[in-house]
Amino acid sequence: MTFHEFLLQQSTSIRNDIYHSSFVQGIGSDNLSQTQRDYYVAQDTYYTDYFGKLFDLTTEKLTPLQQASKPVSTDEQTAHDALLASQAMLNIPPDQHNLAYLEHMEKAIMQGDATNAMLALLPCTESYHLIGTHFINKFPNNTYEPWLAYYTSPDYKAFTQWSWQVVDQQVPDWQKLSFETQQAYLSTYLTSYQYELTFWDQAARH
């Protein structure tokens, strides 16, 4: 089993909680209110802007080959547009859980090695691709189908696969990590997953 397969196994239950969360179910079954979408798109616009900077910081820590093999980034605005937010989103400031998530990733990047940095960012990329894969084409005439299409597109898929490839190269033999290092890596990764779940739960409360 590769490192990313081991990680996916460790995050199975939290990913199932994400699939079952009310907002993600709402994307999958065309059932979201305007206020929920306004709140989510406001939070996520702030998040993805900041994430772009964190991603650049992480990329600098990778090998030249890994950097060169990175697929072109896609514009997440397309995914945000698919949720049809109203102008009201412009007045919604970034919430505490969002800032805490970004701070967690930033600390992992500044304080850890390149693997720790990648593991902090991985739940973001991988969970959205897997949500898209899980829900696409499940609900007829879904208004939010373009959102699911974005995260399952060949470009986004390539980006997810590149992330998996990088962590597998960074840790070719995860069974040989010391117990402490394995726990530290897992903690960075699963903490980001927990923030992903919170992000969805908070959006559903609006």
Ligand X SMILES: Cc1ncc(CO)c(N)n1
Binding site for ligand X (CB under 6 A): 44, 47-48, 76, 124, 128, 196, 199
Looking at beta carbons only, is 48 or 69 nearer to ligand X?
48
| Closest residue to ligand X, based on beta-carbon distance | 124
C-alpha to C-alpha distance for 117 and 108, rounded to whole angstroms: 6
Distance separating alpha carbons of residues 70 and 75, to the nearest angstrom: 15
Q: How far is the CB of 13 from ligand X (least distance, A)?
A: 18
Rank residues 61 and 104 by Cβ distance to ligand X and give the closer one: 104
Residue whose CB is less far from ligand X, 124 or 171:
124
* Distance of closest approach, residue 162 Cβ to ligand X, in angstroms: 14
State the minimum distance, in angstroms, from the CB of residue 203 to ligand X.
9
Least Cβ distance, residue 9 to ligand X (angstroms): 20
- Pick 99 or 177: Cβ nearer ligand X: 99
